Amino acid sequence: MSTGKATRMAAMRAGVIDVGSNTVRLLAAKRGRRGLSTILNEKTHLGLGVDVERYGELSESKCFRAAELASRYAALARSSGVHRLQVFVTAPGRQALNAGFLHRLLSEAVGAPVRQLSSEEEGRLAYAGAVAACRSDPDTVAVCDVGGGSTQLMVGTPKEPVWLRSLDIGSLRLTERFHHGDPPQGGELSAAARVVHDAFSGVVAPVARVALATGGTARAMRRMVGRHLDERELLAALWLLSVESSEAIAEKYRIPVERARTLPAGAIILLEARRRLGLALEVARGGVREGVVLELLAELAAEAA
């Protein structure tokens, strides 16, 4: 490969707009010395998963707001010089009865098709983003991706997952269903824990050497108890979340209050995943957005070769 072509490929930029159960997020990045180098990273809480849990479909107001955010983020990404931009939808698009309406508005807002991720695609891409940013080089790795509307559990090699399970539980939907107090009361936590335990019943993951946790819950847990999430750290976080309000947690750990409200449910899911894997979880430096960006950059590189 010529020096000029290598330089052009290294300068390629890709952007993604992630429409999820909790937030709408923008990531624009290029390849750096140690994986991806972030150019833009924006997020806005929208809570599409709340509508899914309460009504089974998305309100028109939230769909229009998602499209407005996507339009603004697309403009930001293009002004930063991205060579390829993709909008994708995760759990809300799989679970809402009127997901087609959301897709149409998003597509019109950004002037491009919208990609609906299946649970398997979401898991595979979250795995790729988490493993690519891992600083160790294990021969087998597990990844747990706790989202607002679903949870993916994967085990595989550094190249790809060979085992994947998707569970239709997430931190936001579980919060809406069971956690009405702030902080949630003991009975509310117990009810959520029973549902999570049942959802994981029959899940027998292959043995892995390293386990990574990705998603908003994991990133918030890192602020509370550090990057290493074993039983002790997760139980300590869950206890704290059961005695302090979401506003107090948000202020103390610089976490958005909307995220703080869903953390008890998210911690319960991470605890069950940790028990099933039999390994402490390390908070990953990447996830589904990074996985999609890596995919787009690989496409650009193949076209330029």
Query: Where do you find CATH 3.30.420.40 in the chain?
Result: 3-119
DSSP string, 105-169: HHHHHHTS-EEEPPHHHHHHHHHHHHHHT-SS--SSEEEEEE-SS-EEEEEE-SS-EEEEEEES-
Q: What is the pLDDT of residue 34?
A: 74
Q: What is the pLDDT of residue 9?
A: 59
Domain 3-119 belongs in CATH node 1.10.600.10: no
Q: Quick one: average pLDDT of 148-175?
A: 95
Q: What is the pLDDT of residue 5?
A: 53
Tens digits of residue pLDDT in 81-106: 999 999 999 999 999 999 999 999 99
pLDDT at residue 6 tops 90: no
CA dihedral over 225, 231, 235, 238, signed as positive or negative: positive
DSSP string, 160-171: -EEEEEEES--H
Q: What is the pLDDT of residue 274?
A: 96
pLDDT at residue 3 tops 60: no
Q: Quick one: average pLDDT of 118-142?
A: 92
Q: Quick one: average pLDDT of 166-195?
A: 95
Least confident of 137-141, 186-190, 195-199: 137-141
Tens digits of residue pLDDT in 246-295: 999 999 999 999 999 999 999 999 999 999 999 999 999 999 999 999 99
Q: What is the pLDDT of residue 267?
A: 98
Q: What is the pLDDT of residue 33?
A: 78
Tens digits of residue pLDDT in 69-79: 999 999 999 99
Least confident of 9-13, 65-69, 155-159: 9-13
| Residue 305: pLDDT band with limits 50, 70, 90 | confident
Task: Confirm if 136 and 210 have CB atoms less than 8 A apart.
Answer: yes
pLDDT at residue 2 tops 90: no
Task: Confirm if 131 and 141 have CB atoms less than 8 A apart.
Answer: yes
Q: What is the pLDDT of residue 138?
A: 83
pLDDT at residue 222 tops 90: yes
Query: Where do you find CATH 3.30.420.150 in the chain?
Result: 134-283
pLDDT at residue 215 tops 90: yes
| Residue 134: pLDDT band with limits 50, 70, 90 | confident
* Residue reference for tokens 């991470």: 270
pLDDT at residue 8 tops 80: no
- Rg of the chain on CA atoms, in Å: 19
Amino acid 29 reads: A
Q: What's the CATH fold of domain 134-283?
A: Nucleotidyltransferase; domain 5 (3.30.420)
pLDDT at residue 1 tops 50: no
